[in-house]
A and B are shown apart, each in its own frame.
Chain A
């Protein structure tokens, strides 16, 4: 009888913190979600920079449109921008939509800021997202980094820094890292000019490369309503 009581107490002592952490993580995600839920829609203006090894793209003025629950559109109204598929997760609201199991991943720091690592396991087995890992600043209830593993596009990473729209959990700067496939066309098609400076790629270079898109937002228009046409 005494053995059973002692074993029971031990189990409670060992298991309670893990349960409490999981509860904390769930609560933290809930608080972040509540903060994000203040935004029903937004139109943001910003400058987008594309960093992909085989692409040479100038910085472009873009507009980003978002509407609940999960509509997002990046538009370059004065030119051409090639946006990676999966960039819909640039909006944090999309990351936290749906149902998921919350797992606590412990603590870490990003640029000196303590963050809690939270893993989200979607309950929908057929969804596009397989796993999301969030790095949350618990003091400000802001997501500083998010890693999303998807079925189609591999693992995408999102890094955010905040400024005057932090109250809405809307970042001033977003860096979206994604998988980019190699680009190659036959020389007989392109008839390139060979200026004598072309360098051979090192042997063994992987075909799959990482690309980056950085958006520096200058302004947001929040909760003013958006027509369906902007998402077409």
Chain B
């Protein structure tokens, strides 16, 4: 199995398109950092809205590395699925397109092992991409902007979290984001089984993610309780839940607390369910597939 995984990883990292994602993330992160370095105050003013009329805002300290990292994640984690689909959608369909899939299944390994190795390689790619993002968005931002308490702007709540209470939240958020993006990878992986070239599964995955994300963000009561709770895109945002804190009776936030951990665990469970469903379906479909290419 380890040897299979090594082979699959070699295939992934041999292709130039794999590195497009790493370059794209670096470009996007650095662009946001430059923008905030030179005009971060405007952004802080925007997110604090009319509060500047009633509160004295310490703009310089708000614009710190932790805050910048949160802004970057907020902006990019919606777009990263597109980059994940580039590789995951190619894993089986790419081989079919090159004519190597038939040869591959003649090897003395089961189709299940082959699919699991391919999926694990995709998961490792996803994790590496997020590690790269964490390095740039968190470490580089901390180096450029320093460290201080973080302000998290929600729809109708403003959270302040102490700097010594932030790092574990980022570690949890990145770990959760890996699971969230693995769900997208699993979807692209499933679609990849049914295609003869990688364009189809990549475009299909991107389309599904876009439609589901729009549905997740729409404020329509009909969908709120019926459709949205079951869309995986609704649960992909649960990484933010690690930055929502509990409060005592005087609205003072409690350090080290999470506002609704059961909800995050439920979202985690739903995403894991989707991953199992997508990968399981992909394996079943692949085992039944009559491979002609």
Contacts and interface: CB of A to CB of B under 8 A. Distances in A.
Interface stretch (A1-9, A51-59, A63-71): A51-59
Given A58-B160, A58-B254, A192-B154, 7 more contacts: A55-B157, A56-B253, A183-B51, A186-B155, A190-B154, A192-B237, A195-B264
B156 interface: yes
Contacts of B254: 58
Contacts of A201: 156
Interface in A158-191: 178-191
A33 interface: no
Contacts of A112: none
Contact of B54 (A49, A181, A214): A181
22 contacts: A51-B252, A56-B159, A56-B251, A56-B252, A57-B253, A79-B148, A79-B163, A80-B58, A82-B56, A82-B158, A82-B160, A85-B54, A178-B54, A183-B49, A184-B156, A185-B155, A192-B237, A193-B237, A193-B244, A195-B241, A197-B263, A214-B250
| Most chain A beta-carbon contacts within 10 A, residue among B57, B151, B153, B157 | B157
A-B residue pairs, 4 tightest by C-beta: A195-B263, A79-B149, A56-B253, A80-B149
A154 to B, nearest CB: 9
Contacts of A195: 238, 241, 259-260, 263-264, 267
Interface residues of B, number: 53
A58 B244 CA distance: 12
A60 B160 CA distance: 11
A196 B229 contact: yes
A60 B253 CA distance: 11
Nearest to A81: B58
A181 B61 contact: no
Interface string A192-219: 1111110001000000000010100000
Contacts of B245: 56, 58
Q: Name the prevailing secondary structure of the B interface residues.
A: mixed
Interface string B95-117: 00000000000000000000000
A194 to B, nearest CB: 7
B222 interface: no
| Most chain B beta-carbon contacts within 10 A, residue among A78, A178, A184, A193 | A193
Nearest to B244: A193
B241 A193 contact: yes
Contact of B56 (A59, A78, A84, A212): A84
A155 interface: no
A187 B57 contact: no
B69 to A, nearest CB: 15
B161 interface: yes
A58 B156 contact: no
Interface of B: 47, 49-51, 53-58, 61-62, 74, 78, 148-149, 151, 153-163, 165, 217, 219, 228-229, 234, 237-241, 244-245, 247, 250-255, 259-260, 263-264, 267
Interface of A: 49-60, 78-85, 87, 153, 178-197, 201, 212, 214
Contacts of A85: 53-56
Contact of A49 (B153, B165, B229, B250): B250
Contacts of A50: 251-252
A64 B253 CA distance: 22
Contacts of B57: 82
A183 B157 contact: yes
Given A56-B245, A185-B47, A195-B260, A83 B55 contact: yes
A85 B57 CA distance: 9
B54 to A, nearest CB: 5
A197 B259 CA distance: 11
Contact of A192 (B58, B240, B263): B240
B49 A53 contact: no
A51 B56 contact: no
Contact of B251 (A51, A78, A84, A153): A51
Nearest to A74: B56
A210 B289 CA distance: 66
A181 B53 contact: yes
B36 to A, nearest CB: 16
B155 A192 contact: yes
A82 B51 contact: yes
B239 to A, nearest CB: 8
Given A82-B51, A181-B51, A183-B157, A58 B74 contact: no
A132 B162 CA distance: 36
A199 B103 CA distance: 57
Contact of A83 (B56, B239, B253, B264): B56
Contacts of A187: 155, 217, 219
B155 A184 contact: yes
B145 to A, nearest CB: 13
